[in-house]
Structures are given as C-alpha cells and as structure tokens.
C-alpha cells in the first residue's frame, strides 16, 4: 500500500518526473498566443518546506530534486524545471519545494488561467494561503478533482492541460482515473491530459498504463522512470510514470534526450531504467 500525504514525499523522484513534464507541457501550450487553462485535479498544498515538518521524516527530496540541485550538466529542458525550483529558494539553499500548482503558475501568461482542486481540508486551506495574492487568475476549490472535469470541460478558450495525479491511497483511485478520462474526453477530446501514476507491486498500478492505452484516443505518450529494483516484500514505490493524451509532437524527442540522464543521476541500483513509448495518428 502507498501511504500518502504529499509533504512526506515532496521533491522525490516521482515529483521530478511529474513536474518536469508539467513544465514542458505548459511551455508548449504557451507557444501560441491564444490563452489556455491548467486544471489540477489533486493540487495538494502548493508549496512544501523541506527542512521542517513532514518532509524531514523521510527526506525523499535528497534522492530526487536534491540530486539535481548542484549539477551543472543538466539538459536544457530539465534545467528549466530546476530553475523554477530555484526561484522559490532565493538564498540558493534547497529549503522549499514547489508543488504542481506553484510550478504551473510560474509558466502562465496573464491571459492564462489555473484551476486547482484539493479535497483534503488541511492541504486545501494551506493552498488557499499560498495563493492568496494571485487574484482571479488562480481559482481554488475544496473538492474532489475527479468531479471537476464535468463542470470545467470544455474550457472557454478550448485549450487546456488537465493534470490528474491522485494519491492512489485506495484501489478506487485507479478506476476513478479511467472514468474521469472517459468523461473528460467525451466533453473535450482535443485537450491535453497528463496522468501520473506510481510504480508499485500491486496489480492495479501495473495494469493502469495498458488500460489508459485502451481509451478512445489516437495520440498518446507514456514515460516511466524506475529508480530501483522493487523490494522483495512488495512494499513502497520503485518508480512512477506519466501518461499524456494529445502530447506535443516535440515531447518524445525531448524525453529521449532527458530520460537516460535521469536514470543515471536518480537511479539507485541496477534495476533503474526508463520506458518511453508513443502512438501518434
């Protein structure tokens, strides 16, 4: 079982993969003048302290963003993400890690919008506080993000990135992801959807990528980063993946250049590796 409260895991290898891709997808949408939305279904608290509280228990950031922090050989696209993390650490000491809402906000232009959903009462309150000065560009709702897609799609500008990254604490999260995507695609087939999932020994996690491929879609990209061999007892997360529906055509090439680097820097044993596949109509 994956016991999850994101502050415990902030900045780990899974965050590196997820947030690196989030930045790339937003940058791509921003290449056109027309506005777009980013919808984050499970936004969390938005910003995390690494030197106090939950993050100090496991210190997972040390084997994630901590491995990239002092390097001077980062591929350009990966350096873009790390530079955004640096922007919330002005003294050049790694004390804070930005969640997906904070990173997404930094990539937006004035005409773009950010729609955040977080059900957990404590995290939702912290999220409100972290974005209290951002005005109407950022909307925060204390609700289940799976339900948000019915209300928000299609978005007024007809351009959007939907980030779906539930905690997968219960088995219900897996079918809920598929149901939310079926609902979203029926309403907004041309949107970009990015689904994060953990690599676990449980069958639901292992089967999810194939179930995503069977959705009524023509264009998709699947990338996964494994950082170590699964533990013999089947406990814990040994990697994670991102499944992107309607990905930018440039993303595959970017990942062919970046994923070997991430395996080399973040890999912990001989079981480290990556998966990269796509289908484009």
Which residues are the active-site residues? Answer: 165
Q: Which of 218, 167, 161 is nearest to 37 (CA)?
A: 161
**Which residues lie across from 198 on neighbouring strands?**
240
The two structure tokens encoding residue 248:
């930018």
Q: Count the neighbouring beta carbons within 10 Å of the beta carbon of residue 250.
A: 12
Residue with tokens 């963003």: 65
| 211 neighbors 253 (Cβ within 8 angstroms) | no
Element (H, E) at 52: none
Report the half-sphere exposure of 146 (CA within 13 A, side-chain side).
14
C-alpha–C-alpha distance, residues 158 and 130, integer Å: 28
How far is the CA of 210 from the CAs of 42, 100, 109, 178, 275, in angstroms? 22, 25, 35, 11, 13
Q: Which of 117, 119, 118, 114 is nearest to 104 (CA)?
A: 114
CA angle 195, 200, 206 (to 5 degrees): 65
Residue 39, class by beta-carbon neighbours within 10 Å (0-12 exposed, 13-18 middle, 19+ buried)?
buried
């Amino acid at each position: 079982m994956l016991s999850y409260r994101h502050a415990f895991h902030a900045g780990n290898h899974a965050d590196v993969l997820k947030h690196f891709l989030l930045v790339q997808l937003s940058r791509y949408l921003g290449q056109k003048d027309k506005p777009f939305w980013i919808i984050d279904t499970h936004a969390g608290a938005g910003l995390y302290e690494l030197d106090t509280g939950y993050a100090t228990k496991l210190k997972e950031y040390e084997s994630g963003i901590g491995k990239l922090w002092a390097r001077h050989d980062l591929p350009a696209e990966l350096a873009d993400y790390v530079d955004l993390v640096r922007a919330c650490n002005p003294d050049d000491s790694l004390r804070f890690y930005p969640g997906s809402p904070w990173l997404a906000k930094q990539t937006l232009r004035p005409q773009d919008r950010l729609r955040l959903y977080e059900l957990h009462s404590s995290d939702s309150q912290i999220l409100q506080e972290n974005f209290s000065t951002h005005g109407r560009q950022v909307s925060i709702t204390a609700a289940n993000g799976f339900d948000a897609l019915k209300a928000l799609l299609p978005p007024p500008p007809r351009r959007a990135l939907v980030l779906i990254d539930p905690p997968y604490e219960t088995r219900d999260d897996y079918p809920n992801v598929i149901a939310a995507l079926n609902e979203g695609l029926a309403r907004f087939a041309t949107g970009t959807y990015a689904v994060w999932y953990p690599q676990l020994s449980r069958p639901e996690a292992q089967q999810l990528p194939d179930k995503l491929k069977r959705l009524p879609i023509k264009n998709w990209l699947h990338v996964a980063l494994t950082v170590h061999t699964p533990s013999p007892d089947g406990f814990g997360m040994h990697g994670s993946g991102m499944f992107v529906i309607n990905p930018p055509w440039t993303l595959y090439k970017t990942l062919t250049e970046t994923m070997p680097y991430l395996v080399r820097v973040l890999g912990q044993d001989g079981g480290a590796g990556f998966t990269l596949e796509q289908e484009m109509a």
